[in-house]
Structure 1
Amino acid sequence: MELVVTDLSVARGGVPVLEGVAFTVRAGEALVLRGPNGSGKTTLLRTIAGLQPALAGHVGLEREAMAYAGHADGIKAVLSVRENLQFWADVFATGGIDPALAAFELEGLAERPAGGLSAGQKRRLGLARMVVTGRPVWVLDEPTVSLDAAAVGLFAQAVRAHLAGGGLALMATHIDLGLAEARVLDVAPFRAKAPALDDFDGAFL
């Protein structure tokens, strides 16, 4: 299994932000997208995950193979930690949630309502969802936001276990993920060129 992105161009709000993006991530590999805020990392991930259309290019992997985690944690505040994970396990028909609870050290919080968790605990719960999806491709946007050093370590261990099981991971961040072995791709060379102004536009500048 591999994720092959070919000559991909993406837009935010109708304005092209990245063009000609190309890379391959194979089973057992992790790729980290780097770039400053506003450079198009989130837009690229959302396009690859099938959440918005591309302007051009091709993503050579079925979207059903991917699990996406964005800036929102994707949890229900009134449900307990256990109930949140069980909901997603039922959606993806993957069965038990104990490995996910253990991976992010949530066992002691399992019966607590998610709305009562700290920001870091909510993030750990949101990331634990990835484990219960059973999907081989994790697409993660700024996954370690709100995590302390210990929790970043748990995240890195979970990703390594996923890779060891034949999965792959595509992540975007501008901070350390604790995964020194991951390949890094700078999105700056793919920045879209500014559209040329025609004479009518120029008259108003």
Structure 2
Amino acid sequence: MTPIDHSAPPLLQARGLRFARNDEPVFGPLDFAVDAGEALLVQGDNGAGKTTLLRVLAGLLRADEGQIDIDGRPAHPARRARAIAYLGHLPGLKADLSALENLNFLCGLQGRRRAQLPENALGIVGLAGYEDALARQLSAGQKKRLSLARLWLAPAPVWLLDEPYANLDLDGIELVNRMVQAHLREGGAALVTTHGAYAAPPVRTRMLVLGAPSRLADAEAGHA
């Protein structure tokens, strides 16, 4: 377990963050921070801006106002690329590459967590034996597991997880929870969007509710 420095700045912090689409407010202004060893559960009704918020934090959309800091410094593109791993609704896989080829390709682009290998990551997510299966041949749940393997290999300390339980059975839901627990034990942080249909990961958790008005609250779901 990596010791967590509680005097360090938040791994991710947003101040006055606001986003509008066609001049219609989607969310904000928002102020929140996520520390090492902590998860932030982002909840809200459909259209409240959960996915949009994660895409803004990942740098895929530009905020209209506000500032995002990573480890106490402005979130410039290169810093985001090193610090943030994003798991969205789409699997982000190359359909005509095998499961193992997809992981090797992504590790070549993004690097990989020290002492972790793509073959081992496939075993961790329950895809041992699928190394040579083409991504387009996998079921929706298997594609989600392959995306989780990619997430596990990423060296980024901040995970942005958009509905990570979708397309997973009960074993898959428990897999996500174990992964988040392990990531936080190693000093990482996670933002997790959910409609509230599933329990939050059993880790030190706060909740950000998007709506009118958005609010940040403690929601101690447990400790890793």
Aligned residue type for 2:202: A
CA RMSD of superposed structures (Å)? 1.7
Shift of 1:109: 1.4
Aligned residue type for 1:109: Y
Aligned residues: 191
Tell me which residue corresponds to 2:217.
none
Give the match's secondary structure for 1:17.
strand
Give the match's secondary structure for 1:83.
helix
Q: Does the C-alpha gap of structure 1 residues 190 and 59 become closer, same or farther in structure 2, counting only changes over 3 Å?
A: farther
Residue 78 (1) aligns with residue 78 (2) = no
Tell me which residue corresponds to 2:198.
176
In structure 1, distance between residues paired with 2:162 and 2:61:
15
Residue 39 (1) aligns with residue 64 (2) = no
Larger radius of gyration: 1
Residue 127 (1) aligns with residue 148 (2) = yes
Tell me which residue corresponds to 2:25.
16
Q: Deviations over 1:41-80 (max 9, x none)?
A: 1111111111111111111113121111111001111111
Residue 181 of structure 2 contacts residue 202 of structure 2 at CA under 8 Å; is this kept in 1? no
Tell me which residue corresponds to 1:59.
68
Q: Deviations over 1:11-63 (max 9, x none)?
A: 23443211111111001111110011111111111111111111111111131
Q: Give me the TM-score of the superposition, normalised by structure 1.
A: 0.87
Residue 25 of structure 1 contacts residue 168 of structure 1 at CA under 8 Å; is this kept in 2? yes
Aligned residue type for 2:89: H
Tell me which residue corresponds to 2:209.
186
Give the match's secondary structure for 2:153.
helix
Unpaired runs of 5+ in structure 2? 1-9, 215-224
Aligned residue type for 1:119: A
Q: Give me the TM-score of the superposition, normalised by structure 2.
A: 0.80
Unpaired runs of 5+ in structure 1? 192-205
Tell me which residue corresponds to 1:196.
none
Q: Does the C-alpha gap of structure 1 residues 38 and 115 become closer, same or farther in structure 2, counting only changes over 3 Å?
A: same
> For 1:110, which of 131, 134, 140 is the aligned residue?
131
Tell me which residue corresponds to 2:87.
69
In structure 2, distance between residues paired with 1:178 and 1:60:
25
In structure 1, distance between residues paired with 2:84 and 2:213:
23
> For 2:179, which of 147, 155, 158 is the aligned residue?
158
Aligned residue type for 1:80: S
| Identity across the alignment (%) | 42
